[in-house]
Structure 1
């Protein structure tokens, strides 16, 4: 059974960078059995109803501005898998999760920037899934849990977001780490490793500096979704954590 993962996707330019975090992602396929498909929740796709992508071949969405020209020439023409789309929709329906299919939307940078580092050849089917910031945290977890059995079918499930993601507080010239960001991630690590979902569901009230770290929750949701897929075993491992621009966290969690 494949583990599931949470990957921070950082700034769009991460796909051009060479550091410890990007090296981890670039070597991922060497250390992980090749999946038959990838299911990815992206923080940059928000819908009021759980939506499942089903484009025959995905266009690449450049949902950012002001970055290197090279980024706007990159593509990730992965294909979908309609049988897997149908299975995902059946699983959601079985667990009482309303869902719809989208056959037109491409892959946003929350999806393709990570996938470009993990599997640059775009030769593995991809199913992108939306997030809904207005659902309770408990329900986010249950959405991930509904897909847990896909891991037994060699499907790689990924949540792509960021635990500390506050664009208004970035320091583009900083080489250090803001203490408030590190304090939040340290608290988060202790709760994830102990699988303390009661505290995690109440992170905004309990975690230090939560409102600074998570001013809006769309980037945090993919963590809860990914954790939900690991509910049966409840084993978490932090594979990497670093920071850019003072407080933008780059973390990778594995859920077995």
Structure 2
């Protein structure tokens, strides 16, 4: 099973149509087989210590946004949890020298359920939600993903959900025409680093790349890329599977690592 990085975009993707939604809806058919479970790192769950959801039944749906149409707040994604897999993940992290905390109550935020409801609309595949730590180094993010790499051989799909370019100050409303050159330039640089498997450069992009802080003024949406890359450390092959933007510079670029 590959690992994926998905640009989850705006919550409105949950109810919109268009090329990106069509891509998400076709993504399951591009996988080698149906996943037995999904492990998802969401940009919208931040914690200093790694948290692992340990939901015994089905997830509640978190509406962690405001000011959107009422129809969004009526959507649910009651995917089941998997406590056995959650405990195994905690053990894999422990064996790698990484601490974690089980969380039995948190639901799925929109960084998780918005893309998942298009990729797996029946909400019948067990999900383990994982937090992200915006204070940690790129190396730590990568090592957390690497600790879970063995799950891929057992048909567990590992997903990082965020966005390589995510800057509210630069987004254009209503929708702009085309993509901003600077956003495309940064994503093309990301693509070159992935091709060379230069995760160290990617992990330091905000401090070393001229556009790093502009593309990711806060790191939480960018760093899920590193978890997904780390989960494919054994093969170190990546390819872009979707290229696009909304609001002129909100990146919807998606990557597959296998």
- Structure 1 length normalisation: TM-score? 0.97
Q: C-alpha separation between the residues in 2 aligned to 1:247 and 1:198?
A: 24
CA drift of 1:179 comes to: 1.3
Mark the runs of 5 or more structure 2 residues left unpaired by the alignment: none
**Deviations 1:178-227 (Å, cap 9, x if unpaired)?**
11111111111111111112322221243231111000000011000000
Retained in 1: the 8 A contact 2:138–2:200? no
CA drift of 1:35 comes to: 0.5
Retained in 1: the 8 A contact 2:244–2:253? yes
SS at match of 2:76: coil
Retained in 2: the 8 A contact 1:40–1:127? yes
Mark the runs of 5 or more structure 1 residues left unpaired by the alignment: none
Q: C-alpha separation between the residues in 2 aligned to 1:126 and 1:159?
A: 13
Match of 1:233 in 2: 235
Q: C-alpha separation between the residues in 1 aligned to 2:16 and 2:209?
A: 31
CA drift of 1:47 comes to: 0.8
Match of 2:40 in 1: 40
Aligned residues: 255
- Structure 2 length normalisation: TM-score? 0.97
1:63 matches 2:67: no
SS at match of 1:168: coil
Match of 2:28 in 1: 29
1:190 paired residue among 192, 196, 200: 192
CA drift of 1:177 comes to: 1.2
Cα RMSD (Å) of the superposition? 1.0
Which residues of 2 match residues 133-172 of structure 1 at below 5 A?
Answer: 133-172=134-173
Retained in 2: the 8 A contact 1:57–1:80? yes
SS at match of 1:138: helix
Q: C-alpha separation between the residues in 2 aligned to 1:205 and 1:43?
A: 19
Retained in 1: the 8 A contact 2:5–2:255? yes
Of 78-87 and 28-37, the range deviating more from structure 2: 28-37
Q: C-alpha separation between the residues in 1 aligned to 2:161 and 2:13?
A: 13
1:7 matches 2:13: no
Q: C-alpha separation between the residues in 1 aligned to 2:108 and 2:202?
A: 29
Q: C-alpha separation between the residues in 2 aligned to 1:126 and 1:38?
A: 5
Retained in 2: the 8 A contact 1:183–1:208? no
**Deviations 1:57-103 (Å, cap 9, x if unpaired)?**
10000000111211100000011011101100100000011101011
Retained in 1: the 8 A contact 2:145–2:226? yes
Of 154-163 and 177-186, the range deviating more from structure 2: 177-186
Match of 1:220 in 2: 222
Retained in 2: the 8 A contact 1:49–1:132? yes
Retained in 1: the 8 A contact 2:47–2:131? yes
